[in-house]
A and B are shown apart, each in its own frame.
Chain A
Amino acid sequence: MRLPLKITKPLLGDLLVLLLGLVFVVVLFSTLWNHAPAAKVQIRLADKIYATYSLDQNRTIEIKGPIGITRILIDHGKARFASSPCPNQYCVHQGWLNHMGQAAICLPNQISLELLGGEKPFDSLNY
């Protein structure tokens, strides 16, 4: 049996839905894949901002938190938890952060890193 493939004219509403769908997907890509490089790292200890460092200068920072000393590494535009006395090591396993808006938190030692760009896109920690 031969199936005739009828090409029907696309309907106006279909094109409209398709167009809106495309716009929706593009907006999702541009907002959620915001891979702008970061410029600074902000470190918080408990409820206070401990320090803000530029990511241009390599350095190791040692911070004393409630359960011990956490070491944070800044290296060529990226930052990470190098070591922490916490039991689960989630913060260390999160690895290098280099995009604006990324964050890593060590809850047991009450220390968090947040990468900032020239301008802050959104406050991910308060959100």
Chain B
Amino acid sequence: MTIPKENQSIKIQTTADDHRIAKLAALAISLHLVEAILPSPLPGVKPGLANIVTLFVLYRFDFATAAWVSLLRVFASSLLLGSFLSPTFALSLSGAIFSLGVLFLGQYLPRQFFSAVSLSILAAFAHMAGQLLVVRFWLIPHAGVAYLIPIFMAAALVFGVVNGLLTNYLLNMNPSKQEG
């Protein structure tokens, strides 16, 4: 018996870029999931390890790849955690969009003075700012939220530095072909 032609498996044409984005996004998703099961003293204070992948991709590839990896990570992780379209997802998405916006501008900083640490700190601040805006204008429309801003921003600074150092370390371990 022969399989009718229309029932044969559908082939989607994929490029090498697609495969690379998928692999890197899978890495970011796994880091995101590991982080999701870690307990946190304050809701919202998380190391943001997945951002290491975003930064690494920004340095080794380009901004478009980094944006793909970051946004795929947000959508896929929320589906896996069951938080798609929930407030958690909205926070994650707005944080990712804001930090990508800052990374877009930050990639033009001169590389001889600014390493991944600078971009990581700036992106962490932007990530927190994006989340706090959602909290303030949608989830908790109360001025009392302002009392939490310093704590969140201090956490963003600490984790921004740590993630930046880890990214630098990874970049040194995996030299790009151009740099030899």
The chain A residues found within 8 Å of chain B, CB to CB, are: 3, 5-6, 8, 10-14, 16-18, 21-22, 24-25, 28-29, 32-33, 124
Contacts and interface: CB of A to CB of B under 8 A. Distances in A.
B108 interface: no
B14 to A, nearest CB: 32
A104 to B, nearest CB: 12
Main secondary structure of the interface of A (DSSP, over half): helix
B150 to A, nearest CB: 4
B117 A28 contact: no
A13 B143 contact: no
A14 B150 contact: no
Nearest to B143: A124
Main secondary structure of the interface of B (DSSP, over half): helix
A13 B110 contact: yes
B38 interface: no
Interface residues of B, number: 26
A18 B112 contact: no
B147 interface: yes
A13 B149 contact: no
B80 interface: no
A17 B150 contact: no
Contact of B113 (A12, A18, A22, A29): A12
Ordered nearest first, which 5 A-B pairs have the shortest CB separation? A13-B113, A13-B114, A17-B118, A28-B150, A29-B150
Nearest to A22: B157
18 contacts: A5-B169, A6-B172, A10-B117, A11-B114, A13-B110, A13-B114, A14-B114, A14-B118, A16-B118, A17-B117, A17-B122, A18-B121, A24-B153, A25-B153, A25-B154, A29-B154, A32-B146, A124-B143
